[in-house]
Structure 1
Amino acid sequence: MKKLILFFSIIGLSQLAWSQDFYNEFLEHCKTNDTVSQLKVLKQWKTSNPNDPELYTSFFNYYFLKSKQEVIALTNDKPNGDGLALKDSLNQTAGYLGGQIIYNAKDIQNAMEAIDKGIALFPDRLDMRFGKVYALGQTKNWAAFTSEIIKTVKHSSQNDNRWTWTNDENREDGKSLLLSSIQTYQVQLYNTGDDKLLNNMRTIAEEILNYYPNHVESLSNVALTYMVTGAYDKGLESLFKAEKINSKDAIVLSNIAHCYKLKGDAKKSIVYYEKVIALGDTQYKNYAEQQIAELKQ
């Protein structure tokens, strides 16, 4: 139940008084996982008020939640949560038996069609765009995930970040909300551990920099994609741009120091770790001191 309520808070179900009855009824059926009744309410809602933007997010929720299935599967990788390790005759782990989430392709397609209609009709509804990105990330459709983020960044330049949210609530923090959320998606890509997705990260970061050239986090992201692949000079080039924008950013300075360390230039690495220490932040100071001690060994 907790996860269901959280998901609805992300995608944004209607709280408007004139659609409250449909919303409440739909939500009650979601709590009992009664998909037949959910669809019945949605069809009635569509007939009564087809121009309600919350109707599209609700259709999206319906299909996305319906698509999600947990199955028992045999895998080579240890599953998240509970799982059973299978041993061979030498008592070596041969695989794992555990729960795995899969998504029904037809339901996912219907969910995407519903939210795409909503976005087309209400292009400034950021919750719709982020709801779609969320689902694409859950289904590991990284190409579409990246594409949708880029579309959102481009639209931000057209609407000057005058975004709305659930119930068409105006977001005064439109720009910061956009950029901070995309940074979370960048972390999601990085945490996959798939080096091929570094290109997706770089593409997103460079698109952001086309419109927001002083966005330090994106400059750092570009640098990270180069550092991981050993292109240290390209990484430093981006980090120096970030340092010029904010010379007291501990993350940027630490990344420069680390990049020099990876490059094998201990002297310059120490110079930047000393800059980190001078900022006085305890967490970064302790780390920098530890790194300097290692470099001087």
Structure 2
Amino acid sequence: MMQKKIAAAALSLLACMALGAQENAADIKAEYERQVRYVGLAGVGVETIINRWEAAAPEDPEVYVARFNYWLSKSAAESVVITRPQKRYLGNDPVMTLKDSLGRDVYYFEDVNYDDEAFGEALKAIDRAIELNPQEISYRFGKITSIMDYEKESPDMTAAEILSLIDDYQARGEGWTYAGETLTQELFCQGISEYCYRFFRTASPASYEYFLEISEKMNKLYPDEVVFIDNIGSYWQVNGDSRKALRYYRKALKIDPEDYAANNNIRLIQSSQSRKGRPSK
């Protein structure tokens, strides 16, 4: 009888210890959130709290998201002003415009220089979060966005991550979440379309090609999502092939006659051709 009581007491103690550890991790997370509100993602004391949080809950992916945000913030430490000959850079307007000695416009843009070592630590952290919960898409989006910001006009790694995510989304099927809630196909397509939009705004030769590649891939998988049909039309419109662009815009309108992008771009093409004296086809 005494042995049974001792065993029961031991089990009760273990349960209390486990509960205490859970409460401790939750308390540390709350402490982290308070500290970040006061000092920012990489402020004084934040890393120490993350280390304690990881010790208390080493399998919690949110720990590594916090570490990712810490290192990402540390990596983007230097804000600079750069010059470009074009009026836009990464889709942004210049902060000011001056003339050079020949009277030509020189455009000045705000930019961020990243510390490679700190950025590498950020990627290690988010990869660990993804390893622990591979179907939480906010982790994937966070990684992709950070790489896109880092790569700027040469988004090779960004495109590879997006294409890999699309394949993974198809292969894994159900079970995907966004911030813990069930991820819908609509939200997934919206997320990918936003990255396509950023590629388009970046307007570098490489970003335009990835814009087309990803849009074509998504169009094959989701043929009724007109945004990707519009994207393909926009690619050809920018590259001067109005006939091919019109074909895609009209294809989009067969699915959604009210599609704003297709209707608007058709009007732009027709107006341009009218000014040049060429009928649209």
Q: What TM-score does the superposition give when structure 2 sets the normalisation length?
A: 0.74
Deviations 1:188-247 (A, max 9, x none): 222223244211111110111221122110011011111101122322332233222223
- After TM superposition, the structure 1 = structure 2 runs for residues 45-124 of structure 1, keeping only pairs within 5 Å, are 45-73=53-81, 75=83, 100-124=111-135
Whether the 8 Å contact between 2:229 and 2:249 is mirrored in structure 1 is yes
User: In the alignment, residue 63 of structure 1 is paired with which amino acid?
Assistant: W
For 1:104 and 1:68, how far apart are their aligned partners in 2?
A: 7
Q: Does 1:213 align with 2:213?
A: no
CA change 1:246–1:51 in 2 (3 A) is same
Structure 1 match to 2:257: 247
Whether the 8 Å contact between 1:161 and 1:174 is mirrored in structure 2 is no
For 2:264 and 2:64, how far apart are their aligned partners in 1?
A: 45
Deviations 1:246-271 (A, max 9, x none): 234243233334334445676547xx
For 1:17 and 1:228, how far apart are their aligned partners in 2?
A: 56
Q: Does 1:37 align with 2:45?
A: yes
Whether the 8 Å contact between 1:162 and 1:174 is mirrored in structure 2 is no
CA change 1:74–1:142 in 2 (3 A) is closer
Whether the 8 Å contact between 2:130 and 2:136 is mirrored in structure 1 is yes
Q: Does 1:179 align with 2:189?
A: yes
RMSD: 3.4
User: In the alignment, residue 32 of structure 1 is paired with which amino acid?
Assistant: V
Deviation for aligned residue 1:124 = 0.8
CA change 1:118–1:244 in 2 (3 A) is same
Structure 1 match to 2:145: 134
User: In the alignment, residue 157 of structure 1 is paired with which amino acid?
Assistant: Q
Q: Secondary structure at the match of 2:240?
A: coil
For 2:231 and 2:94, how far apart are their aligned partners in 1?
A: 34
- After TM superposition, the structure 1 = structure 2 runs for residues 275-290 of structure 1, keeping only pairs within 5 Å, are none
Q: Does 1:149 align with 2:162?
A: yes
Is 57-66 or 21-30 further displaced after alignment? 21-30
Deviation for aligned residue 1:156 = 2.3
For 2:280 and 2:264, how far apart are their aligned partners in 1?
A: 12
From 242, 249, 256, give the equivalent of 2:266: 256
Structure 2 match to 1:282: none
User: In the alignment, residue 122 of structure 1 is paired with which amino acid?
Assistant: N
Q: Secondary structure at the match of 2:181?
A: coil
For 1:183 and 1:51, how far apart are their aligned partners in 2?
A: 32
CA change 1:133–1:240 in 2 (3 A) is same
CA change 1:134–1:72 in 2 (3 A) is closer
For 1:109 and 1:125, how far apart are their aligned partners in 2?
A: 21
Deviation for aligned residue 1:100 = 4.1
Is 234-243 or 104-113 further displaced after alignment? 234-243
For 1:84 and 1:214, how far apart are their aligned partners in 2?
A: 42
User: In the alignment, residue 117 of structure 2 is paired with which amino acid?
Assistant: K
CA change 1:51–1:209 in 2 (3 A) is same
Runs of 4+ that moved beyond 6 A:
77-95
Count of residue correspondences:
250
Structure 1 stretches lacking a partner, 5+ long: 1-15, 270-297
Structure 1 match to 2:32: 26
Deviation for aligned residue 1:165 = 2.8
Structure 2 match to 1:294: none
